[in-house]
Structure 1
Amino acid sequence: MTSNNPGPTGITQLKCFTPHLVSKVFALRFTSTARGARLARRLAAVRLDEWGVPFGSAAHETVVLVAAELATNAVRHGHVPGRDFQLVLRVTDVPRPVARIEVSDTRTERVPPRPGQLPGPGPDLADGGRGLLLVDGLAERWGWHPRAGAPGKTVWAECALA
């Protein structure tokens, strides 16, 4: 594995080289605010375009929407005062092009339902809760797990790029 030094923006890009995996990774922490969620979405969009998933393509729009929903959920449901959330965007070319979006927050006691256990659309969703329904409809698969070695959780989704 090789890692590039952070560029002028302080963003580190990692490239993993093995016979079976080619991956590009973007990871950055953001303030747990609406502004942080918007910045996460914008930077994910720019990074995808730089990696060859062009603005305006269906794959680009899908990944950016999923990243936006997960970042917004981290701010809305995972906010802990003084704590950031982290976005990790990974694009893997082999065995097929896939984008994996991971958003981690530090709130342990509020966890999302498991895939397949989401409530259906209806009056219960009048005040929110539609974000994961969008993720469920757009992503090939998604889920969540407790953060390793730290409080909180990571919600992840994978979207095809083909």
Structure 2
Amino acid sequence: MTSQLPSPISVSQPTCPDDDLNPTFEMRFTSTPRGARLARRLAAHRLDTWGIPYGTGPHEEIALVLGELSANAVRHGHVPSRDFHLLLHVSAPARTVRIEVTDTRTERTPPEPDALTAPDPEGTGGRGLLLVAALATRWGWHLRPGGPGKTVWAECVFATPT
């Protein structure tokens, strides 16, 4: 009998509606470091497709915020056999990208945005949400409606890519 590694993505397929003005990308990923890396790579590709090109400041900032939120979902929101959900939505008229990462762990919640504190300078962690706060226009979190878990979200306003 052979053992197969689980796929880093769930059966759920990505969605990208035909509405070019406000495109959306949505997918579930396994709550593993591999799933978080894949979420960032697929979202980075989608941003490029939507006209926020690789190598530009807005693209790099949005990808970094998304990567931090995905990594936090894996590190702090992991529940065995439960995926995390990524939603990426662009509001073209407002030039805003909204990132939502939902996990299924309710008891480990992030601090409120205005309650972030500097991490221990000797420590190796605790800087992810500070990066999110510095790069995103605004961010926050709420309990997951209809089930266990939470959604951490961030909005990034972008100018014309440079």
Question: The TM-score by the shorter chain falls in which range?
Answer: 0.7 to 0.9
Cα separation, 1, equivalents of 2:18 and 2:126: 35
Q: Aligned residues: percent identity?
A: 60
The one of 113, 123, 127 equivalent to 1:126 is: 123
Where has structure 1 moved over 3 Å in runs of 4 or more? none
CA RMSD, 1 decimal: 1.6
Which residue does the alignment assign to 1:138? 135
Give unpaired runs (5+ residues) of structure 1: 1-8
Q: How far off its partner does 1:150 sit?
A: 1.5
Match of 1:93 in 2: 92
State TM-score, norm by structure 1.
0.87
In the alignment of these two chains, the number of paired residues is 148
TM-score, reference length from structure 2? 0.87
Corresponding residue of 1:102 = 100
Quote how far apart the aligned CAs of 1:13 are: 1.1
Indicate whether 1:12 and 2:9 are aligned: no
Q: Is the 8 A contact 2:65 2:131 kept in 1?
A: yes
CA distance in 2, matches of 1:10, 1:120: 38
Query: Helix, strand or coil for the counterpart of 2:52?
Result: coil
Contact 2:143-2:150 within 8 A present in 1 as well:
yes
3-state SS, counterpart of residue 113 of structure 2: coil
Q: Is the 8 A contact 2:95 2:157 kept in 1?
A: yes
AA aligned to 1:67 is L
1:65 is the counterpart of 2:64: yes
Q: Contact (CA 8 Å) 2:85, 2:101: kept in 1 or not?
A: yes
User: What corresponds to 1:39 in structure 2?
Assistant: 38
